[in-house]
Amino acid sequence: MRLARALALAAPFVVFARPAWALCPNCLGQNATLSPTMRIVGVFLLVPIAVFFVVARIVRRLSR
């Protein structure tokens, strides 16, 4: 239920966002498209977020 609500709130931001995904405004200003190196950096920036959610789920399950 919470996931569905979160997705419903995030959907407009994803749908109406500009097609350019940048790590920072400076990076976007340098090139119209992201280089492969910048894409790899972007993926690595998502790793701590993914680890947080995995650990949070494990803690929730163990605390029940």
Domain boundaries, the chain: 22-64
Position 46 scores a pLDDT of 82
Position 52 scores a pLDDT of 93
Q: What is the pTM of this model?
A: 0.42
Position 18 scores a pLDDT of 57
| Of residues 29, 12, 21, the one with CA closest to residue 46 | 21
5-61 pLDDT, tens per residue?
Answer: 887 877 776 666 655 555 565 665 666 666 777 778 878 888 888 899 999 999 999
Three-state DSSP string of 1-64? CHHHHHHHHHHHHHHCCCCCCCCCHHHHHHCCCCCHHHHHHHHHHHHHHHHHHHHHHHHHHHHC
Position 39 scores a pLDDT of 77
